[in-house]
Amino acid sequence: MSYIDENFMLNGKAAKKLYENYGKMQPIFDYHCHLSPKEIYENKVFSDISELWLGGDHYKWRAMRAMGVSEDCITGSASSKDKFKAWAYTLEHLVGNPLYHWSHLELKRYFGIDELLTTDNWETIYNKCNEKIQQESLRPRTFITQSNVRFICTTDDPIDTLEYHSLIMQDTGFKTCVVPGFRPDKAFNIDAEHFCRYIHSLETASGCTIGDYPSLIAALENRLLHFKKLGSNVSDHGIGSLYAVEPDVHEANAILLKRLSGNSVTKAEKALFQTTVLHDLGTLYHKHAFVMQIHFGALRNNNSKAFTRLGADSGYDSIKDQNCLAGALNGFLDRLDAAGTLPKCIFYNLNPVYNDLIDTTIANFQTETGVRSKIQHGSGWWFNDTKRGMIDQMDSLATQGVLMNFVGMLTDSRSFMSYTRHEYFRRILCTYVGEKVDSGEFPDDEKLLKKLITNICYANAAEYFNKTNLEAL
């Protein structure tokens, strides 16, 4: 009996109908991910299933460590076969974890494998996957096209050359729209060890001499325009905390000069500098019609020994709490709104206890005529792209805002096999809505329900990012 059958995650008659009739066939609009544009352009050849499936996936790494797997079989020099075997051993124990769902969805959709991956059959499945990779030449564009992905926004630093985005744009044989996403974190992480070195790199990339705060913002605008030329209107920012302080260009300039002189900055100075830069970036995004995404609430690199050995993004991060979030978020939005420079914004909170706080805050700034939900509460992110996390986010948004306007799911992944997360989300969405229909809480009105599901799965995002004219694959 197949585990991933047609009714997987669909509870009730209404949920099954909604998914089959409306959710299933919608194309994918992936407005934030960490895929490599180089690998998309070159259509990378993967050596085997372990490289494709396990490389760079810190979700899997965390689970493997919890099972006592040696680091050699996770990020080390063990053979691909041994790493796959260690993952099979781990997965066998992960019932209840979304990795169990995601992994079996990926095996089913891309390799046609219905079996549960276990320590008994791992070698057979390993060989089947590798045969399919080689025989059918499974490459990045295969996964993108097969998954019906119409739009991809990658995550790119202002200093990136964006040469592969330019080459993809010129490739008329590839129909998916791929644009760069402006991610200027290193320009406001003023306490980072390599901040001064980064500023020199930004000078080179922009052709601007950065000797003070205004010239820093000018350099960032210069690079933003380069992104815009390649079809981008998307930015993203990853921050630990939002701060309840007033931006101050004069103070930010003094702090920048202090740091460029080789001195360290205090926590209070970091907070003011970050807040000022984010405010001025928001103003630039409004000027150039960019969407401003902010992912916040991650406490990163908590295991110092592992960080020394493996570096960042290796699976040692967790959810962060913070004080004065409501004041910080309302203040940030209000200052931009009062100045008439508030861009479209999407906020992603990693700590789910802030869901209602986010939704009651963004409702204060839905003030632009003709724009549906200009300020968005982003989908459940990272530790919350789970059934519980997705439902909690949608339930809060439905209660405090307008669920019908929600821009839906994004991949936020480095793996080309992660497009099944959109299917996972859509099945959960259809069950969430379907159960409310079955209970009588939502009306059983086909026109209304079709609009709700198709809006959230694709149409809202295409409209929000002004990409409604994308070519069908």
pTM of the model: 0.97
> What is the per-residue pLDDT for 137?
87
Q: Do both 235 and 283 map to the same domain?
A: yes
What mean pLDDT is predicted for residues 233-254? 97
The 10s digit of each residue's pLDDT in 411-444 is 999 999 999 999 999 999 999 999 999 999 999 9
- Domains in the chain, number: 2
Q: Do both 283 and 264 map to the same domain?
A: yes
Q: Do both 127 and 219 map to the same domain?
A: no
Q: What's the domain range around 62?
A: 46-135
In contact, 317 and 303? CB cutoff 8 Å: no
The 10s digit of each residue's pLDDT in 308-358 is 999 998 999 999 999 999 999 999 999 999 999 999 999 999 999 999 999
Residues whose CB falls within 8 Å of the CB of residue 387, separated by 6 or more in sequence, listed in order = 9, 98, 428
Q: Do both 452 and 329 map to the same domain?
A: yes
> What is the per-residue pLDDT for 472?
84
Residue 435 belongs to a domain: yes
The 10s digit of each residue's pLDDT in 182-211 is 999 999 999 999 999 999 999 999 999 999
Q: Do both 129 and 152 map to the same domain?
A: no
The 10s digit of each residue's pLDDT in 133-170 is 999 889 999 999 999 999 999 999 999 999 999 999 99
The 10s digit of each residue's pLDDT in 107-142 is 999 999 999 999 999 999 999 999 999 998 899 999
Q: Do both 178 and 211 map to the same domain?
A: yes
The terminus-to-terminus CA distance of the chain in angstroms comes to 33
Looking at 76, 106, 135, the residue that finishes a domain is 135
Give the bridge partners for 298, in sequence order.
319
Q: Do both 298 and 182 map to the same domain?
A: yes
Residue 21 belongs to a domain: no
Sign of the alpha-carbon torsion through 154, 158, 163, 167 = positive
> What is the per-residue pLDDT for 473?
78
Residue 467 has pLDDT above 90, yes or no: yes
pLDDT band for position 2 (50/70/90)? confident
What mean pLDDT is predicted for residues 84-99? 98
Q: Do both 309 and 357 map to the same domain?
A: yes
Residue 154 belongs to a domain: yes
pLDDT band for position 1 (50/70/90)? low
Looking at 135, 168, 193, the residue that finishes a domain is 135
Residue 3 belongs to a domain: no
Average pLDDT taken over every residue of the chain? 97
What mean pLDDT is predicted for residues 11-18? 97
CATH of the domain at 319: 3.20.20.140
Phi, psi of 297, rounded to the nearest 5 degrees: 105, 15
Token pair of 159, please? 């200093």
Residue 60 belongs to a domain: yes
What mean pLDDT is predicted for residues 362-385? 97
Looking at 135, 150, 169, the residue that finishes a domain is 135
Q: Do both 131 and 164 map to the same domain?
A: no
Phi, psi of 135, rounded to the nearest 5 degrees: -70, -40
> What is the per-residue pLDDT for 471?
83
Residue 29 belongs to a domain: no
Q: Do both 130 and 248 map to the same domain?
A: no
Q: Do both 96 and 178 map to the same domain?
A: no
Q: Do both 152 and 114 map to the same domain?
A: no
Residue 84 has pLDDT above 70, yes or no: yes
> What is the per-residue pLDDT for 222?
98
